[in-house]
Structure 1
């Protein structure tokens, strides 16, 4: 009897309104979080001055990685809160923390003004961003999927995966326009701060949109029957089946998606600027092309997973990623390649990324039971995104420096994706027909 009212709410609720509000907030989280990555090359000399430019870049990438490393802590805290008191309250907290931290970056004095305190404050704000993102990214997937109903979940929820690319796209376009309008000296003096200041306006809009969000019908049903877990994290870790699925989510789906995301959306820009030596405006233009292509490809992959299953779509992306990353970067490194050729490579890499992330939102929720779903999904997802994906630019750059090669570090994502594909083929279950109310 309990399932009837839940199904009714799922079918009559204005899903579009819920999706827009949830996605806009997640867009802000990604915009804030990834603006830092886009400006990694700029932050090096401003906050980590060094005679050796490579050392400054490495320090800047390490600061970006710090924010990713603490994401699992945010996931553990906010994921459990979401299972105990509801999905909606967590959204309000995380978006506020992220907005405050990001706006503050825009007002930070540089190393030239306050010395060592500049990088210390920058790292502190990155830690706050990481905690916030840990609660938001993953939890929003559960929230949206629980509102999506039983049919076409892959397609409906794939739109959430567009928020990361859109965050990068808006950030990249802003920075490209600022660099075009301002002189190099003006941009280094104050122009780099503008994207962080703009996030204040986005924060106010996102906060207003989220105030109108309703709790998911599945969680409301749990609360009515008092079936919430009192200690979700402990329950997840003591249940063998949940532990197994948390590992599969971590190793195959989330780590694979994170590695491809940071290879395609973050590291390619760094690689083209520092190794291929392409002009920054041209690299930003190429990044825009690749990101625009990623948007429909991601939705298509989500739709395809509704037709043939989540597993074959994700496994295909992992196999193609492991096979083609090294050749793709090698081809981009060859001198005198046309801009069109490099753009085609980036779009091809985007298609591989879409295969993994398109079904990802639905999978995050479908793998776990309702009463511990939020914490079970957010912890391994953020652990993978933070420790595997977020540290990828740093690890790849460090390996390249150790081996005095622009390509050596790319063996790290290649091997990881290959292992993830093998494990997924053997153990990942098909989940597209799962009843989310169970």
Structure 2
């Protein structure tokens, strides 16, 4: 522990800022690449999954997005174990290169009209690559940044990492909104949708250079001296009852709740407003940008307040707020959206903005302390593998499939709101489990 303190003192606050910027930018790129596909789901449907029924094409597009999420746990199992064995930094370099290659390739992929059935097959293959990369990056980056943050104000320091997903959505949405305004619908459908994927080439080069300058975490360096990292195996995590319990709590209570709220607020709201309410695309993009901008200060505030009152109460507020408000929020969005179509007024936009801000508050309260919680729940030698698997399992299987499941339930029941009972009930159960079993971790020493 003294060695870790000495390393932290030598490196100082300026070094942490450098680490945070590099880690956050790399994670931003991962999210930008990964979520651009979700933002373009409506446009990609007819290009790669042509069908006489638009709903079928949308479902196929959302299913392809979901496939990338489903394989995230495989990437986390592979890269999480590598992170405990060879170090956090080498894994970062591998994952970001894999994500960049897959995303750039999507931008050059021929459509169904050009190469037939091979177009969706290749698209699915590239989504699988993106999913594997995201599994190693998202979760591992939380461990890396938290281990660099030290033992003071970890919630606040690490909350900025949680903004990278919304920031990726924001940049993607702004780009697409600009392209749709600048290009005709025919031009956008012909080649404009490729531009966000091409831009990732430049972002990849910047992120890769920044990560080359990163150093290993003090915690891992200390483990290396005692060769303790060799004791960490993914299967050993399941043999330890305490680690196994905490992995389940991370999966069910923290990561699943955060994933559900993230995909409801940042992904599904735009799809819902465009397809079910049938609001103008540019208006939906403006509302989405507003919701994302509101999320930034809310997330940082939640991280800061969790350093004062604890991680658990902040997370519980977010989970229960989401459970109570998700279904009525979408009901109200549909109601006011339909009124707006008939008689557009500025007041209606403000009301819909306030609804989205409340959803963003629920997400921010869970997301703010989440980065610190991921690392604090587990001992140092098992941290990377124990944290990344349940986190990515939740994000991939619970969050990533959420838009598809909701859309399918809506179609099955013939009601555009029926599917929203799924996230509502899940959040309620997760909140109850967290209330009784989730430990408080804000004072945990990360070197142990």
Q: Note if 1:358 corresponds to 2:359.
A: no
The separation in 2 between residues aligned to 1:32 and 1:246, in whole angstroms, is: 27
Aligned residue number for residue 343 of structure 2: none
**8 Å contact kept, 1:11–1:149:** no
**What is the Cα deviation at residue 329 of structure 1?**
0.3
The offset of 1:9, in angstroms, is 1.7
Deviates more, 1:222-231 or 1:398-407: 222-231
- Counterparts of 1:5-404 in structure 2, within 5 Å, are 5-13=3-11, 14-334=15-335, 335-337=338-340, 338-404=348-414
Superposed displacement of residue 229, structure 1:
3.4
1:316 Cα deviation after fit: 0.7
TM-score (norm 2): 0.97
CA contact (8 A) 1:21 1:206 kept: yes
Rounded Cα–Cα distance in structure 1 between residues aligned with 2:143 and 2:133: 16
Displacement, 1:231? 4.5
Deviations 1:49-101 (A, max 9, x none): 00000000000000000000000000000000000010000000000000000
1:164-197 alpha-carbon deviations (Å, 9 max, x no partner)? 0000000000000000000000000000000000
Report deviation, 1:10: 2.1
Shift of 1:275: 0.7
* Alignment check: 8 A CA contact 2:263 2:402 kept: yes
Aligned Cα RMSD in Å? 0.7
Question: Matched residue of 2:228: which SS?
Answer: coil
Could you list the per-position Cα deviations for residues 314-361 of structure 1 after superposition, in whole angstroms to 9, with x for gaps in the alignment? 011111100000110000011215111111111111011000010000
Of the three residues 423, 428, 431, the one matched with 2:438 is 428
Unaligned runs of 5+ in 2: 341-347
The answer to whether the Cα contact below 8 Å between 1:229 and 1:372 also exists between their aligned partners in 2 is: no
User: What TM-score do you get using the length of structure 1 for normalisation?
Assistant: 0.99
Counterpart CA distance in 1 for 2:301 and 2:157 is: 11
- CA deviation profile, 1:94-145 (whole Å, cap 9, x unmatched): 0000000000000000000001000000000000000000000000000000
The structural deviation recorded for 1:230 is 3.9
Q: Deviations over 1:213-260 (max 9, x none)?
A: 000000000001111134420211110000000000000000000000
- Measured against aligned partners, the alpha-carbon deviations of 1:10-36 in whole angstroms (never above 9, x if no partner) come to 244210000000000000000000000
For residues 397 and 357 of structure 1, the distance between their equivalents in structure 2, rounded to whole angstroms, comes to 25
Whether the aligned pair in 1 keeps the contact of 2:162 and 2:299 (CA below 8 Å) is yes
Count of matched residue pairs: 436
- Which aligned runs of 4 or more in structure 1 are off by greater than 4 angstroms? none
